[in-house]
Chains A and B, each alone.
Chain A
Amino acid sequence: MSANYEPNIVAFLCNWCSYAGADLAGTSRVSYPANIQIIRVMCSGRVNPLYVMNALQQGADGVLVSGCHPGDCHYMEGNYYARRRLGMLKDLMEFVGVDPKRFHMSWVSASEGHKWKEVVEKTVEDAKEAGPFEGFRRRQIDW
């Protein structure tokens, strides 16, 4: 791994808390690594655990899922489902040969622009440590 290796990170953010928090980071001009690309979903509960594996398969080196703080979900309980499903996925990652460092889950509220920056930095740092991901054979999706 070269010293200037930059991991490619795909993040799934819920519309109401984390996506708004990332927007706030922008409005507040909080700068953070450009490695992260955000896909907006309405709720972290929408994130099928297979999306995480799919992202790794498609070329991501790390994946982040971020939602509302437990208890604050805009849809009442979606983030609890996310926490269960993705927690289980995290436990399974090592089993399928993926460094669990590549996957992060976080709770970032609409007011936590600074926390968002910290989450991104940690995710990028861990993905850097884990190095380029070549564990899965890429299935080219012709779109």
Chain B
Amino acid sequence: MTEKAKVGVYVCHCGINISSTVDVDAVAEFAEKLPNVKVARTYSYMCSDPGQVLIKKDIEEHGLNRIVVASCSPRMHEPTFRKAIADAGVNPYFLEMANIREQCSWVHEEIEEGTAKAKKLLTASVAKVRLLEALEQKEVDAEPAALVIGAGIAGIQSALDIADAGFQVYLVEKTPSVGGRMAQLDKTFPTLDCSACILTPKMVDAANHPNIELLTYSEVEEVNGFIGNFEVKVRKKARYVDFDKCTGCGDCAKECRVKDRFPNEFDQGLGKRSAIYLPFPQAVPAKYTIDPENCLFLKKGKCGKNPKCQEVCGTEAIDFEQEDEFVEFKVGAIIVATGFDPFDPSRKPEYGYDDYPNVITGMEMERLVSASGPTEGKVKVFNGEEEIEPKEVALIKCVGSRDESVGNEYCSRVCCMYVAKQAHLIRDKMPDANIRIYYMDVRAFGKGFEEFYDRVRRENVRYIRGNPSEIFKRGNKLVVKVEDTLTSTPLEDEVDMVVLGVGLEPRADMRGVMELLRLSQSPDKFFLEAHPKLRPVDTATDGVFLAGCAQGPKDIPDTVAQAKGAAASAMIPLARGKVPINAQVAIVNEATCRGCAFCVNICPYTAIEMVTVNRFGNEVEVARVNEALCKGCGSCAAACLSDSIQPKSFRDSQILPQIAALGVMK
């Protein structure tokens, strides 16, 4: 670093995003007087092509070797400007950005304070940029395989696309079958395609694809490593059924001593299953599983004289000795497609979901109208006294969505249409029923949605604007208490059945995946994407991508589109076969390291090891960093007693001048 720093400063107007609260000309004028600054300019959009050309031209003409861009967050455009200066022959790490938009112009209102603060931030950046070091971007090989977590429609689609491109895919599903929520649906809006008919072929494809290793009834236990080189450990839970021997005939379930005793999860608890079960007839793989919590033999060690399932199984597939297995493999990229949970309406006790059996959720309705459901497609409910075919039906939208009282401010995006679809299906089955939908708004935004909404209204489905306050029982009827807000009329509407159009929530068990992959949540608590507009399938963890409702509520077309997007992004490192590794790694000054190994113990990545070196004729132990493992967090540096280990680009010598610059400029 003998070359004298010649700094170019570029202050962005960002249209008026910055210039309305920061006097950019004053900032540039101020910057010109800072030490080592050769050029200081402003431009309307620095990130635009002419903006970048401006920098490149100055580098050529003025021999600049350090660049400061005062604009938006480095989290937004640091890669853009790194590339721009690299194109002009300057090391891409000779760049510093002053965040005068997100952390200045957008959060302060007065131009005086905005300008003063922008000057300070810029000064700190100039102070630092002069002391940065040139770094080399290294690459390592990427494993040409991907892990997809969750085998609903999102996970299946991502897995199929990646596998079709010729890469190995490990598709991990927590439950015994692939298919996810979509498999539970009857028809899909607005086209009324049969959900199973369009999904089942994909489920089978996923299971049979030569490039897909399907791991059902399995959970990801451990993920180590980084983009290109993730080491994954998966727990295959014991099914107590030999996967290869089971033919899926179902004799075991028929003979089970606790036959049809337990609520079937797939039917939302409306149907019953045995302790050994197939979640649903089209389940893939068609292999039975024993539920250890309910199996008499697994629970009590005794089931009659001999377990019935074992007696009847013609292929001797039942294996009570089976234990969880672990599978380990390496992948280059990971797609998280873990889906959602439907909102639990018990959290809105005023709707009486826990009290009245004829108040049901939208998911339960899907199973009721499904020909393969527990009632074989007949809409029947128990009204507390008898089983009836309801004549008066009310559907309520926005249950658990757009509702701050339950902590969900967001719109779940699918309820407007699935409620309309269910109204249509009820009309189809019961032409005489009186159907009304209570709504706050109708959001029919997607392709074919408005047309479908129109069609349903013409099918004599009444839309009444009002958010019901209470549901209670009167005689054998349910009373929906609501105000029709279009006519300001309070109503007490007597009905036989209420369908709660429950919204979508982040999965209750998302925390596990979140911690495994270091993911964040957005304010709605779904997984946070790297950028809401431009990197909607990426996450802050390189090489980890999002697909489907794990990222936020969406319908099937949007889910499939995002799944394909995630697959395409995940394939970038796989297809390139190489990934860049972090250049901003820690480095040890072996001349001053005293070999205490504090850093070795602190490093979360075991990236530091002790080595023996010859120092002035003495054999001494010093720390050494493995650059492929170091992530550059810098925890080691804060612990080092002699300041010998330092993360590049975040050295003491680079941060202290920033502090000094901010302190001096009171």
Residues of A within 8 A of B (CB): 8, 10, 15-17, 19-20, 22-23, 25-27, 29-32, 34, 37-43, 45-49, 51, 54-55, 57-60, 71-78, 81-82, 85, 109-113, 138, 141, 143
Q: Which of A15, A73, A81 contacts B75 (CB 8 A)?
A: A15
Known pairs A27-B102, A110-B520, A141-B660; A42 contacts B655 (CB<8 A) = no
Report chain A residues within 8 Å CB of B660.
58, 141, 143
Known pairs A27-B102, A42-B647, A141-B657; A75 contacts B631 (CB<8 A) = yes
Residue of A nearest to B634 (CB): A46
Known pairs A42-B647, A45-B634, A77-B604; A10 contacts B107 (CB<8 A) = no
Residue of A nearest to B96 (CB): A40
**Cα of A45 to Cα of B639 in the assembled complex, Å:** 9
Residue of A nearest to B643 (CB): A48
Are A81 and B127 in contact (CB-based, < 8 A)? no
Residue of A nearest to B515 (CB): A71
**Cα of A111 to Cα of B584 in the assembled complex, Å:** 26
Chain B interface residue number, banded: 35 or more
Other A-B pairs, 8, CB within 8 Å; known A26-B107, A42-B634, A45-B638: A16-B540, A34-B104, A43-B634, A58-B663, A60-B659, A75-B631, A81-B602, A111-B521
Report chain A residues within 8 Å CB of B127.
143
Determine if B614 is an interface residue (Cβ-Cβ < 8 Å): no
Q: Which of A38, A39, A43, A110 contacts B528 (CB 8 A)?
A: A110
**Cα of A32 to Cα of B6 in the assembled complex, Å:** 35
Query: What are 16 pairs between A and B in contact, CB < 8 Å?
Result: A10-B662, A15-B75, A17-B520, A32-B108, A39-B124, A40-B99, A45-B635, A46-B637, A46-B647, A51-B655, A60-B663, A72-B518, A75-B605, A111-B523, A141-B656, A143-B657
Residues of B within 8 A of A (CB): 35, 73-76, 99, 101-104, 106-110, 113-114, 116-117, 120-121, 124, 127, 130, 514-515, 518, 520-523, 528, 540-541, 584, 602, 604-605, 631-635, 637-639, 647, 650, 652, 655-666
Report chain A residues within 8 Å CB of B655.
39, 41, 51
Residue of B nearest to A26 (CB): B102
Are A78 and B107 in contact (CB-based, < 8 A)? no
Are B635 and A37 in contact (CB-based, < 8 A)? no
Known pairs A19-B75, A31-B109, A81-B635; A37 contacts B650 (CB<8 A) = no
Report chain B residues within 8 Å CB of A20.
75, 520, 540
A95 to chain B, nearest CB (A): 21
Q: Which 5 A-B pairs have the closest CB atoms?
A: A58-B663, A26-B102, A46-B634, A59-B663, A45-B635
